[in-house]
Chains A and B, each alone.
Chain A
Amino acid sequence: MCLAVPARVTTINGEEAVLDYGGVTRKANISMLSDVNVGDYVLVHVGYAISKMDEEEALETLKLWDEMLAAAQ
């Protein structure tokens, strides 16, 4: 039950959004997040989007890893 799955927001209607889980669509409540837009990736848990996945941060992380892995002895 603790699985939280990332999905892409396709439409928003008030507190409710339609999400795309790689082909499967499902509704979720987005009232826990303040600035969700169509196209965003969100983590969904028991029917609620709980966090926005940040693509820039994801790329930044990979860059950081690169540096950390290069630096560590």
Chain B
Amino acid sequence: MSLSRRQLLGGLSAVGAAAAVGVPFLSGVRGSSSTGELLPSRIGLPKPFTLPFRVPPVLAPARADATGDYYRVTQRAALAEILPGVRTPIWGYEGLFPGPTIRSVRGRRTVVTHRNELPVPVVVHLHGGHTPAGQDGFPTDLLYPVGWTGEHTMTDGVMAHGSRDYVYPMTQPAATLWYHDHRMDFTGPAVWRGLAGFHLVSDPAEDALGLPTGDRDLPVMIADRSFDADGSLRYPSLDRSLLHAPGVHEPYGSGVLGDVILVNGVPWPVAEVPAVRHRLRLLNASNARRYRLTLDPPGPLVQIGADGGLLEGPIAHEALEIAPAQRFDVVVDFGRYRPGQVVTLRNEFGDDTTTPIMRFRIGGAVPDTSRVPDRLAPAAPAGRTAVTRDLRFRHGEVNGMAGWTINGDAFDPARAAATPRLGDTEIWRLSSDFHHPIHLHLASFRVLSRGIGGPGPYDHGPKDTVDLRPAEQASILVRFTDHPGRYVFHCHNLEHEDMGMMGVFTVRR
């Protein structure tokens, strides 16, 4: 049988039409778990699970007295061996990435004196801190370097030179906080270079619960990075001095995704752990990457805390979706596994190099007196809602360039997008076009709803960052207490933040 010319043409047309729709359809049908572009490394990468896990050192106070604990932190450039045998220039608190962990006790004033020996101004923000406005790290409250001879950006912020104190009253419940750079326009590259560390708050109520403590309480900072051929951290800054032009080269304006997963600064580490319950304080310190964390072989991740502190009761998850800046405190019972077994923490949102996160090698069974009580913290008090606000987080034009906006506007430190009254409870309805992890300074909040349903499985407990997925709306209940003044809220995709997606709220008396 021979094909007529007509049949042949018809067949070819049908194939062409199917391809014209089918190829773009199938190539993008999976969507994206993070908004951003992968920036590939240009250097050989180590095999996963070959380097030892470590926790950042705990900073000792320079002095402690009746008025509080006093810490000193010098921010400086340093060389770190992140990849074996490779020297990587970083910017670090105390020259370390991650920075040293600061431990505070609820209600005990903590004063951190930051000295800036970096080549750029800095701003320190205690993420999750219930902090007075002047100490919160407003993006234009710049701390200029020691001996700065360069120009000064004209802002209405508070200027300091060389060093300044950040005074934290720490009148907040036990929680896993973190501190990081927050300078206007340059937060993404500064955090990428290493300016991030844990700040843990404990309180007697938490201590009394019997949760795993000591070396069974592990801070786990997960951050993706990419490396250049010379071993430096690769980042697509328009201006590598980080002094003049903000922003990144296209196509990275949607977010920078690295291909190396660092856990506490170590690529895909392996931890030796006794076969007992451990508390893992999971922090996503990535600029743009979201993770869906699971254990392999499967086992429950028992969530006990969220960004702002303990949940009312534990929640067992098979997987956790964690957006940039979010924290999940979980307890994992390694006693469920055999001694010698390996348990991998995986990222189901990952690809070749970003699926593995870290590995635990289970040691022998030892006595374990820890427990996870059914009741962890009191329920959040309900308040009468004074105001409902709508905030739309969208891609848009910023100074004639592609950028990111809130209600159509790019960040302007002089204009408040919201002016809540001190003591008021408000509902903020947040909506998105792409993935936008939305973070509020000062106040922790509760997620009331997501889409047309209640809170999602990862929305429980006190939060300071809510993970908005594309074209999604979430409502949050937020109370503005204790501290009046000017704060920011923003997308914690740091490339979005740097390219406009930040707003001011001023808490008025």
Asked if A and B bind, the verdict is no
Q: Give me the interface of A with B, judged by CB distance under 8 Å.
A: none
B-side residues, CB < 8 A to A, are none
